[in-house]
Structure 1
Amino acid sequence: MDLADKAGEWRVLLGQLVRYGLTGGLASIVNIGVYWVLATRGRLDPNLAWTAGFLGAVVVGYVVHSRWSFRGHGRRGNLWRTGGRFVIISLVSFGLNSLWVWLLVSRLAWPVWSPYPLVLGVTPLAVFWLNRRWVFE
């Protein structure tokens, strides 16, 4: 593979990462918005509030990631295969984010907003890699 091909691959990866970040931002706004309203206004347990927000974010995430973030990457022939894998990776993401919420809010009694840096920084990079390598391969 020559240098021009490698540069092209990096451009594709960078484009996916930017689109993924924008889409993830949208899904995160849905998730955090639902979480915030239910945890603060609805006085719902933070983990239950996070679960409700997560469900809304999964729907938004799958539709936009499959049609825009990873467009032109991999195959989409089988909705059940791709969708099933997306749900599995979303559950990994949910588990990791639930860990942040439990640890920081429930266990350490930090503010409700304290998981945001980990939720918006650490988890998305891990999930991008998993989506690119396994879901939308």
Structure 2
Amino acid sequence: MLLQKLNSPATVQLIRYAIIGALITALGQAIYYFGVEWAGLDPNVSIGVAFLIGVAIGYFAHGWISFAGHGARDDHAGMSLRFIAVNLFGFALNSFFVWLLVKALGGPTWWPIVPNVLVTPFATFLMHRHWTFG
């Protein structure tokens, strides 16, 4: 029973999404952190740059790898718009964490990395699986 659940399409997609997403998230959070600490960017500007780079990479990586064989691929315009909408939600959530933890609470610039890595990816996985690529 457990082995069947581990081999389910949703579990395989989650594993692929986690691997691809971890790489994109790590890159994005590194861009955010170095943008703030080394380039002197405003934290919200830096997370915006990270977002744009992550969306461009993520559209192809998740479409081709994470959700390969899942859902129809005949409406690329609609799928692209849904992908952008889900990622805008993720961007808004990450921006909220930056605002709350750095600007409102005065915490160090690394604090938002924690919820950006632990909360946002799970929310966007569910939205991508059921709406974008579903």
Q: What is the TM-score with the length of structure 2 in the denominator?
A: 0.93
SS of residue in 1 equivalent to 2:71: coil
Q: Superposition RMSD on alpha carbons, in Å?
A: 1.5
Q: Deviating runs (4+, > 4 A) in structure 1? A: none
Aligned residues, how many? Answer: 132
Q: 1:118 to 1:95 in 2, by over 3 A?
A: same
Report the counterpart of residue 97 of structure 1 in structure 2: 94
Of 104, 109, 116, the match for 2:113? 116
Q: Does 1:66 align with 2:63?
A: yes
Give me the identity figure in percent. Answer: 36
Report the counterpart of residue 39 of structure 1 in structure 2: 36
Whole-angstrom CA distance in 2 between matches of 1:110 and 1:8: 41
Equivalent position amino acid for 2:20 in 1 = T
The runs of 5 or more residues in structure 1 that have no matched partner are none
Whole-angstrom CA distance in 2 between matches of 1:135 and 1:110: 34
Q: 1:26 to 1:9 in 2, by over 3 A?
A: closer
> 1:30, CA displacement in angstroms?
2.2
Equivalent position amino acid for 1:45 in 2 = D
Equivalent position amino acid for 1:15 in 2 = V
> 1:9, CA displacement in angstroms?
8.9
Report the counterpart of residue 80 of structure 1 in structure 2: 77
> 1:103, CA displacement in angstroms?
0.2
Whole-angstrom CA distance in 2 between matches of 1:11 and 1:133: 15
Q: Does 1:19 align with 2:19?
A: no
